[in-house]
Amino acid sequence: MLSSQCFENPPNLSSTCGAGRVEELAGLKTYVTGPSDSKRAVLLIPDAFGYEAPKLRKLADKVASAGFLVVVPDFFYGDPVVNVNDPNFSVEAWLRKHSPDKGYEDAKPVIADLKSKGMSAIGVAGFCWGGMVLVKLAGTEDIQAAVILHPGRLTEDEIKAVKIPTAILGAENDHIFPADELKKLGEILSAKTELESYVKIFPGVNHGWSVRYKDDDESAVKSAEEAQEDMLNWLLKHVN
């Protein structure tokens, strides 16, 4: 479900990074940024490093600058992956505690809470672990659009169940979800003529690149910016 690539170039987590603030949403500590009077919201579901990753919060602020209220909940309850090389850390045990199914159950009240605050349209982007959560949400009509970035494992049945406009952005070099397999999921999506969708594979990048790029790698930064722009454009098109 997760591979070693999921933990490459780990972020230095910071509870104070970003231009936003931390509030409670549906019982979860949540990074919140953007205009509080907006009627359009975007939920970002993080990878295994959680909601205190600086590049993820930077992206949240970027999306907020387009007029969205953006929320990034702590789906791991203060228990993100911090050091995968710690001999006491077990990926399997962590995933049992923080399964995508659990993430899905936690995301539903977040969406309900946003709606109770007056949000008329909600889009969601999910990264790696978050992509596995998001594909489940995309099988409902509780949200208006989905962007799945370098996901963990998705099933054909999950893709067949998608009911909303969905974009999938993948890496050319991805051990957990090779590009050819993502393209096959794209074929399933494209057969659903009642909704818009696409799959885009970014050349020369690795799993996780959109939020874990190296700042000194000019090509990786450019590719991450392109993916982030694609994500934002999809949300602007469908979340209104």
Q: Measured between alpha carbons, how far is 68 from 58 in angstroms, rounded to an integer?
A: 14
- Residue 6 banded pLDDT, cuts 50, 70, 90: confident
Give the burial class of 216: count Cβ atoms within 10 A of its Cβ; 0-12 exposed, 13-18 middle, 19 or more buried.
exposed
Q: Is the pLDDT of residue 53 over 90?
A: yes
Residue pLDDT, tens place only, 149-168: 999 999 999 999 999 999 99
Task: Report yes or no: 38 and 68 within 8 Å, Cβ to Cβ.
Answer: yes
Q: Measured between alpha carbons, how far is 148 from 152 in angstroms, rounded to an integer?
A: 10
Which residues, listed in sequence order, are joined to residue 31 by a DSSP beta bridge? 22, 72
| Signed CA dihedral, 63, 68, 69, 70: sign only | negative
Count other C-beta atoms under 10 Å from residue 74's C-beta: 20
* Mean pLDDT, rounded, for 8-17: 92
**% of the chain surpassing 90 pLDDT:** 92
- Residue 3 banded pLDDT, cuts 50, 70, 90: low
Residue pLDDT, tens place only, 179-232: 999 999 999 999 999 999 999 999 999 999 999 999 999 999 999 999 999 999
* Mean pLDDT, rounded, for 135-157: 97
Q: Measured between alpha carbons, how far is 32 from 21 in angstroms, rounded to an integer?
A: 5
Which residues, listed in sequence order, are joined to residue 126 by a DSSP beta bridge? 45, 148
* Mean pLDDT, rounded, for 59-83: 97
3-state secondary structure of 105: helix
User: Sheet of 166-173: strands edge to edge?
Assistant: 21-25, 28-33, 69-73, 40-45, 121-127, 145-149, 166-173, 197-206
Q: Is the pLDDT of residue 82 over 70?
A: yes
Q: pTM surpassing 0.75?
A: yes
Which pLDDT value is given to residue 83?
86
| Signed CA dihedral, 129, 177, 63, 35: sign only | negative
Residue pLDDT, tens place only, 104-128: 999 999 999 999 999 999 999 999 9
Question: Rounded to 10 degrees, what is the CA torsion of 29, 30, 31, 36?
Answer: -130
* Mean pLDDT, rounded, for 37-47: 98
Which pLDDT value is given to residue 1?
58
Which pLDDT value is given to residue 4?
67
Task: Report yes or no: 155 and 147 within 8 Å, Cβ to Cβ.
Answer: no
Higher pLDDT, 86 or 30: 30
Which pLDDT value is given to residue 2?
61
Task: Report yes or no: 40 and 120 within 8 Å, Cβ to Cβ.
Answer: yes
- Host H or E run for residue 185: helix 179-190
Q: Is the pLDDT of residue 20 over 80?
A: yes
Tell me whether strands 166-173 and 197-206 are parallel, antiparallel or unpaired. parallel
**% of the chain surpassing 70 pLDDT:** 98
Which pLDDT value is given to residue 234?
98
Average pLDDT, the chain: 95
